[in-house]
Amino acid sequence: MHTKIHPASHVQIGWVIAADVRDPHILQAYKVASERLQTTLTEQFPQFVWEVVYVHRHRYAPKGALNPLPLLELGTQEKIHNGWDYALVVVPNDLEPRDRILTIGVPSSALETAVLSSAHLGHAGQLADRLVGLALHLLGHLWGLEHETEGPMHPPENPTDLTITQFPAPQKTIVIDRLEEVADKRLEEQSQQWHWIIFQWRAFRADSRSILVDILGYSPWLLPFQMGRLTAATAVSLVFLLLAAESWEIGVNIPPTGLLMGTIIAILLATFFIFTGQNLGQISREIGWREQLSRTRIVVFGTLLLGMVALWFVLFVVSFLVASILPNGIVAGWVGQNKLDSRLLINHAAFMAIIGVLAGALGGNLEDEDEIKAELFYDEET
């Protein structure tokens, strides 16, 4: 491990050029931008010692559009390897957009890393300042700031509008709080001998509030709707089960405690399955349990966990509604009763939701890995 321990008030940002850029004007602008970013942050947040570390990795050809995900992963690896607090990955290439027509940057507060494209920021003269303006906007997202009508958090409608501006006072306060919290509570590197769970728990305790804010920021309850194939897999399995007499027989006969246990186990299993199956926990394999990486893992795991709880709830409601409109007499006949009361319908709906969550986990693993990662890691496309 090459991680350095630096004083609490010290904030290090890696400025990683990820493409094989040869144009001396562009390289010069990148260098100037890194220095200007350091100066700007020092002026705006003098309570911290800022260091922007310039690094050139010739990983990609400087032509064609790049997928931001591998760039985020590259930045995260560099960040952890070098012990930086944040990483900004800069490329001259276009970025492949997902939802927007054009994207010039992708911040990921989960990874504490952002990607910047200089493709639409013009040439030489203003390039450096615009890059700094974009870097401030993306750092703002990494620090949990919302969009504002003025200052760096004003969404850049046009890439050429970007300039260096001051964060408004209320946002400065948020940033300072956030940075102090992170600095205060960063765990020491004495973790190797600790048990895995204890370490994750300590990492969570150390920073629980901002971890929870991050998790909720992903709106995990929308996850079932964002993962098309996962939801389709569950829907198919449920339609078959709702029309199968056996499923009714089992469903109405499991005691509530059994259903509760089943629900907890299914949600945990599904979360573990998607988490490991998607390599979401392996963003950076060889690094060990560093606190920052742990934090990222916890945020991703927590988001998936709440996503699975949401999936269970959605399936429960759907099963209950569908079961209520099935002819009561026929279904009651399947389970050897005269009439199905709502308690039995609830029982069965819970059983269906358990099966659905497990089926969904299988479907989720078929999902394009990039889809889920982008869903979890992108704060936005700038």
Residue closer to Zn ion by CB (options 133, 360) is 133
Q: Return the half-sphere exposure (C-beta side, CA atoms, 13 A cut-off) of residue 212.
A: 5
C-beta of 117 vs 382, nearer to Zn ion: 382
Query: x/- string (CB under 5 A) for Zn ion, residues 363-382?
Result: -------------------x
CA distance 37 to 11: 13
Element (H, E) at 50: strand 49-60
Query: In the complex with Zn ion, which residue's Cβ is closer, 164 or 233?
Result: 164
CB contact at 8 A, 379 and 108: yes
Please state the closest distance from residue 172 (CB atom) to Zn ion, in A: 17
In terms of C-beta density within 10 A (0-12 exposed, 13-18 middle, 19 or more buried), how is residue 126 classed?
middle
Distance CA 244, CA 246 (A): 5
Nearer to Zn ion, 106 or 310 (CB): 106
Neighbours of 349 (CB within 10 A): 24
- Cβ proximity to Zn ion: between 108 and 382 the closer is 382
Q: How far is the CB of 138 from Zn ion (least distance, A)?
A: 8
Which residue lies nearer to Zn ion by CB, 109 or 365?
Answer: 109
Q: Provide the minimum distance between the beta carbon of 159 and Zn ion in the complex, in angstroms, as a whole number.
A: 13
Smallest distance, Å, CB 140 to Zn ion?
A: 7
Q: Closest Cα to residue 75, out of 162, 125, 133, 66?
A: 66
Q: Provide, rounded to whole angstroms, the least separation between the CB of residue 56 and Zn ion.
A: 27
Closest contact distance (angstroms) between CB of 153 and Zn ion is 7
- Tell me how many residues contact Zn ion (CB under 5 A): 1
How many helices (H) does the chain have, and how many strands (E)?
14, 5
Which of 178, 136, 130 is CA-nearest to residue 41? 136
C-beta closer to Zn ion: residue 296 or 382? 382
* Distance from C-alpha of 66 to C-alpha of 18, rounded to nearest angstrom: 11
Element (H, E) at 248: helix 245-253
What string marks each residue from 323 to 362 as x (binds Zn ion by CB under 5 A) or -?
Answer: ----------------------------------------
- Give, as one character, the DSSP assignment of residue 21: -
CB of 328 to Zn ion, least distance (A): 52
CB of 146 to Zn ion, least distance (A): 9
- What lies within 8 Å, CB to CB, of 57 at 6+ separation is 16, 17, 18, 74, 78
Chain residues 3-62 in contact with Zn ion, contact rule CB under 5 A = none
Amino acid at 93: N
The binding track of 255-284 with respect to Zn ion, each residue x by CB under 5 A or -, is ------------------------------
- Cβ nearer to Zn ion, comparing 108 with 234: 108
- Which residues of this chain interact with Zn ion, rule CB under 5 A? 382
